[in-house]
Amino acid sequence: MYHRCLFLFSFLVLLLTTALADAEMREAFDTLEAWNPRTLASGLIMNEPFNPYETPLPSWRWRVENVLQKGDATRKAGDDYPLRVYVLFTYDPEKASFGMRAKVAVAKALYGETPPHASLNYLWANRTHKKRILPSPYTDRSQLIVLRTGEAEAGQWVEEEANILDDYRTAFDEDPPDEARLAVMSDADNTGGSATAFLDFIEIEKNHNE
C-alpha cells in the first residue's frame, strides 16, 4: 500500500543557496541537475560535496504543515518526519573500525554503492524527547538531532542554525571525515501517515570566529 508523503519543492518558494569553501553556489531549481533523487522517500541528495572543516555552519528556513501523529524517533515504526535535513559524511576507511569496514563491504556488494561513513539528521519531529541527540533506531552511525517538535509552529517559516563539527563530535565522540553532502527528505512509510513540508533555502558558511 502506498502511503502518501509529499515534499513540495515549489519553484515559487524553494531556493537553495550553498556557500562551499570560497565559492558560492546558488540553486534556484530551474532543473534538478545538482541533485540525485532518492525514490524510496521524497528526498534529494546534493551531488556537490563540501568540506565540513572549512564550512561547518549550515542554516536553513523550513516549514511543515503537519507532523506525523505516530512519529517516534526512538522506534523503527515511528521513524518518519515531515522534513529532515541530512549531512551525509563520505565513507573514510582510515577512520573505520574493522567491523565497520566489513559492514560497508557487504552493503556495497548488496546495493552497488558505498554507504555513508555516518550521518547527522536534523529533524522536525512529532514529540519531545529527553535528549537532543538520539541514535537512529536503525543504526548508531546515523544520529538524530531534534530541532523542532509538534505542531505549535506548523504553518510558520522557522529558521535554523547548526554547527556540524560540534554536533558530530558530540554524537560520535570523534572527528568527522573531511567530505560530506547535504540531503533533504520527508517520509511517512513507517507510520502510514501523510506530510507536507517546504524548504526555502540552505546555506553553509565558514566559521568566521576561528
What pLDDT was estimated at residue 187? 86
Provide φ and ψ at 167, rounded to 5°. Answer: -65, -40
What pLDDT was estimated at residue 21? 39
- Structural contact between residues 61 and 200, judged by C-beta atoms closer than 8 angstroms: yes
Element (H, E) at 6: strand 6-7
Residue carrying the nine cell digits 540553486: 27
Which grid cell is 86? Answer: 541530512
Residue carrying the nine cell digits 519543492: 9
CA dist 32 → 25, 122, 153 (Å): 14, 22, 29
Which residues, including other chains, have CB under 8 Å from residue 125's CB and lie 6 or more apart? Answer: 67, 71, 73, 81, 144, 146, 148, 149
Instruction: List the one residue out of 126, 132, 135, 134 whose CA is nearest residue 147.
Output: 132
Which parts of the chain register pLDDT below 70? 1-32, 34-35, 37-41, 210
What pLDDT was estimated at residue 47? 87
Element (H, E) at 60: strand 57-64
CA dist 40 → 7, 79, 111, 186, 194 (Å): 13, 14, 14, 10, 15
What pLDDT was estimated at residue 70? 92
